Structure 1
């Protein structure tokens, strides 16, 4: 498919199970990479945005609602922050948030699609910000599944899975062998984090993923918040560890250095988000 450019405003919708979620905007570019369809749009309400295979991924004015919540419970809970791994995250937002922590010495960002990075750097440059030029960032265009399979035990202090919905190139990020390898390469004292879909719009995928993570790691808990551009606006992230539920207890020193510049995340918000587990989800997880 050749690049397509359009000027007229229209409704840009994501369709999911007889429902649709969208914004009024202009399509700036559509490109079919070797991996997936990439769409960059311009919206009045949320600025420029990214869709992958016609599903909303991020927008300039709302990306912190997602990235801060995925990153900081892990980064403020891990024993050490020397070595970080991000699987996915081609928009750069998770890397940017991780690199705000000065303890980080090395961050591997493993993204399968170079075109996502190229288009985000061109059309959504503020999301990645200075992360792309930070010398601590080691960007590799690789398959994240293969990366974790080939990484030696106890390699990372924090592992963040910033993948899209469980279909297409991200589908393999939601299976047992991948999560087991993530546990294997996570250091004791480390924290694992993953986005785990909406408990309303994607109930089955959410429950299956959270239950799987809970059976693999000694400690694991889902956290709930709002990302209005995503289906239903209700989202989840799940955190796990080997030695203790350290993601529940953010370091006051680290939190004090970053929380004043956060839009959503703070230790108080985090405590409420972990406690905001819906009753029906809590009952189902105990079955």
Structure 2
């Protein structure tokens, strides 16, 4: 008998993926955690019945959330990542030559542990000496450090805006993040599908425009996410996010073994379809 995983991505639309076996299942203190082995995409991490990533295409999301903001910044030495306990965004951030320290704040330590066990190639950066993993609520952590201005970049690698992640999509949280950034800091977050989350993207875009000198939206194509078209919202205090910073002039991007991101993709990801431009007006 065939086994399939179904994710209802809206009330009228969903995705199904054929499952070879269930490798892990548990209920942590915060959410349901499942690791599947799939025929089409390899291993797949699912939290509360929502797909986080698969082996076959995880690099798209992780490269685009991690590398676009960092290569826009002149010298991103200190990074804060909220969420992302799987370590994928950390792996990508560590490819930037200026990075000296990364704080990863993950509310659910079990996501970190499960990722290390079942996704070692994604979680490999978690053992880097420059990385500190902090088991904490990202909202509360930011409240404690918001007046410090200690970070060059803050990246929000959250799940969908429900449950523990709901507060990561609120104005108060974005304002706290801005205060925790240095004077030339940059902020980026995943902000869902332009097809199914128009109001959310519109609201977040307005907030980021209020807070940052240089706000923008960019996107990537991610096959297992709702609609495949996925948005990221970015705010910069100084640097133009659409451009790779001049400090990387002569840098050999081919040395990074990238599968999706490139200088050309960096620039083109900000060229938005007209219907997305309408959302952001």
When normalised by structure 2's length, the TM-score is 0.93
User: Which residue is 1:12 aligned to?
Assistant: 5
* Structure 1 residue 262 corresponds to structure 2 residue 258: yes
Query: Would you say 1:71 and 2:66 are equivalent positions?
Result: yes
CA distance, structure 2, for counterparts of residue 254 and residue 239 of structure 1:
22
Given that 1:86 and 1:159 are in contact with CA atoms closer than 8 Å, whether structure 2 keeps it comes out as yes
Q: RMSD of aligned C-alpha atoms?
A: 1.6
List, as ranges, runs of 4+ consecutive aligned residues in structure 1 with deviation greater than 3 Å.
Answer: 254-260
SS of equivalent residue, structure 2 residue 269: helix
Q: Counterpart in 2 of 1:274?
A: 270
Tell me if 1:243 matches 2:238: yes
Cα separation, 2, equivalents of 1:255 and 1:150: 39
Q: Cα offset for 1:204?
A: 2.1
Consecutive unaligned residues in structure 1, runs of 5 or more: 1-7
Unaligned segments of structure 2, at least 5 residues: none
| Map of 1:122 onto structure 2 | 117
1:259 to 1:142, Cα distance in 2 relative to 1, 3 A: farther
TM-score under structure 1 length normalisation = 0.91
Query: 1:226 — aligned with what?
Result: 221
Q: Measured at CA, do residues 28 and 254 of structure 1 come closer, stay the same or move farther in structure 2, by a change above 3 Å?
A: farther
Aligned 8 A contact 1:79 1:157 in 2: no
Counterpart CA distance in 2 for 1:259 and 1:68 is 14
Distance 1:232 1:243, change over 3 A: same
Give distance in 2, aligned partners of 1:116 and 1:264. 25
Please say which of residues 223-232 and 210-219 is displaced more in the overlay. Answer: 210-219
What pairs with 1:1-287 in structure 2 (closer than 5 Å)?
Answer: 9-15=2-8, 16-25=10-19, 26-129=21-124, 131-151=125-145, 152-245=147-240, 247-251=241-245, 253=248, 256-260=251-255, 261-275=257-271, 277-286=272-281
Question: Alpha carbons of 1:97 and 1:9: their partners in 2 closer, same or farther (altered >3 Å)?
Answer: farther
| 1:202–1:193 distance in 2 versus 1, CA, 3 Å | same
